[in-house]
Structure 1
Amino acid sequence: MQKKNIYIGLGIFVGLIALYWLFFSSGKKEGFEILSEVKKGQFKVEITSSGELQALNSIEILGPIEARRYRIGNFTIETMVDEGTVVKKGDFIASLDKTELFGRLEDRRLDLEQTRAAFEQTQLDTSLVLRLERDNLINLDYEVGAKKLVLDQSQYEPPAIIKQNEYNYQKAIRDLQQAKERYRIKTLQEKARMVEVSARLREAELEVSQMQEALEKFTVLAPQNGMVIYRQGRGGKVKEGSQISSWDPVVATLPDLSTMQSITYINEVDIRKVKVGQTVQIGLDAFPDKKLSGQVIQVANVGQQRPNSDAKVFEVLVRVNESDVLLRPAMTTSNSILIEEKGDVVYVPLEAINVESDSINYVYLKNGKKQEVKLGLANSNDVIIEMGLEEGQGIFLSTPEWSQDTSISLLAELDGKRNLNREEITSEADSTMRPGYQIRPVRN
């Protein structure tokens, strides 16, 4: 038992010595400092952001646009295929509630039957009226012949009787002419009546036919091959049970998956660097090993505020160059937009850069010096050194103990050029400002 306590005590003592050596003694040694070296090679300035895949082109699957002609404001989706279903042209997409239009169709069918009955009645009336007129013409024609015969046979009668027979004959001729004119006018009147009732009948038949065609469109079919994507409405995605307006009867969309784009949002600090035509490397969260290339095709001119965020961002559209069967709408992407690329330049990690008096940038060299440097382009990790360092030099990423007792070795080439003119800064900012930028006061 006594030996066991001795061993425990020795163990604690050794542990304390080890802790002291790690946290106190080694901190005074150069090997404990974080060191790096100046590198030379290709340098890329990139802006990285997450995005979401979307088809560059898509076709909207529409319900019956004609429904608004029949004063139907909204209709309900009764059944609908699942989102992501791959369909062929003519396949079933959705079924809409037909109740309201079906009731109106039945009313129009009843009106059509009444109009057809009125048409047939008018036909019968017209036939009867014109037949009576034709019979009257035949009788009057016989009357003219009879009066002519009486006149011819009265040539040996007294003049008064002859004169009376002439009057009767002339009257019969006038009655026949008047009957013919009346028949002509009556024919025109009956034709006009038939044209009117025929037009009403055709209108009623056409309306019933159009309503039947509209009713068929309440069964929505795929206009082409593709994948069904639910439409995002005000109350969420349009799906079974949702109502859609006859003025905007989009049931779903069929994206063209052969050409995709990534929609991403860039913060207001970096948006001035993004230009149309810049190349983009695209990664897929769902397939980490797959890398795609793309190109910036559109940069928004007006900023917007995303939900649950105070920062202003600008929408950027990136077209995906490759076509892949694995690509699906709404997949999350990582987008690295190449802003600028330089070859054969000297660069160091950003952690190595220190600033004094807001104008002197310097690094801690491994040889114990503080060296001023002139900075160039920077990315999220490194910065180009235009002047002051050479490839292979050792530099500190942390602050060494001797930093307080060492003065900075200044570059003679930067004398008088360390403070950038404020007017130049303002001019550069004005040239890249877009609506939506947040302006904050500068404190001196």
Structure 2
Amino acid sequence: MQNATYNNRYILAISFISALGGYLFGFDFAVISGALPFLRIVFELDAWWEGFLTGSLALGCIVGCLIAGKLSDSYGRKFGLFGAALIFAVSSFGMAIAPQLETFVVMRFLSGIGVGMASMLSPIYIAEISPAQVRGRNVAINQLTIVIGILITNLVNYKLSILGEDSWRWMFGLGVVPSLLFLIGIVWLPESPRWLIAKGRLEEARAVLLRFGNSAVVEKTVDEVVNSNKETSPISFKEVLHKSVRPAVVIGVTLAIFQQFCGINVVFNYTSTIFESIGASLDQQLFETVSIGIVNLLFTLVAMWQVDKLGRRPLMLIGALGLAITYVVLAFLLQNQISSVLVSIFVLLSISVYATSLAPVTWVLISEIFPNRVRGMATSLAMVALWSAYFILVFTFPILAEKLGTYGPFYLYAGICVLGFVFVLRKVKETKGQTLEELEGNFRH
């Protein structure tokens, strides 16, 4: 019998094209930090509007996730990615030319819809086209492009800040460039063969799979997916909550919430607040932002190297426990106004732990633990939970910091990380090296 041989170079190339959605995610996540000083002046923002303007991206993401699940299950992964890219391009241009605050918020919300769609569809697409032995690494490419998007956007924002009052328009307007590149790239993407098989379009699926590998790859994949998609009736939300699927859904949703409530996005979004609380200068605050971006990128590369070797579960356990420890030390340093150098070390240490574990591995697990038949809708539910948790996290930190001190919330996040460690230890099974079809049985009980 012929062995399955994969065209890994081609699969890797189209994984990177799909992961451009992650770059745009990183862009929209980071661009607001450089633009806010100018937006405060131009739109005369009070505290409420500043918070709502920033959070409107997350609200749009929730809508985007809900739309993407249905669209991708009905019309295909490629169709959904194309829609996300188009929304990115339109909203970036719209924010750049926005004449008033209300228009800008609407465009930012629209951008969030694109981010939400891409945040779930890019990992799903990559998981569905990748061989089991490298699926973790390939899905982690999406996290890599997010991190690259954040770092490049921070550097570009810093350079554009010298342009004066209208700097923010250039910051947002430049998002059109990667959006159009993503749009063009999607034209060359094949449709997900697993989606084609699920829709009964076997000949199209075989033609795509022949680009991925030899005839053994084609027949192996077709047989596995056909056997896991015996039901042909329309997918309902009730089916996603069926007792046979519920364990996987509970795990996916809990991991999505934990990735946000672990608190790391407070470090990303409130770097200046954290260092200002210990008397750091503005120059040091900006330097810390760049340092965080560089460390985030370097350790994301480490995660890509280890996710298919060490495995998902060990990385999640290391990440949860590592963050709990670093947060306790960081909180102690902030509470006692100890050296900004030590604070910087533990901030960067927490970023490195997160980038190696919870950041990429959560996306990998969510993209692979759901059954083929309900993957789009179940992933949509997990992403809604993730973005809702993000919205809650970034809006509660200023309130908690005011009541407890800047250090106070980090004790809380440390406790959440301990609970996350216990959850992963008890509920999450290892998934490395198994096909998506093999994993269906593992997460039904």
Shorter-normalised TM-score: what interval?
under 0.3
The structure number with the bigger radius of gyration is: 1
Question: How does the TM-score come out when normalised to structure 2?
Answer: 0.19
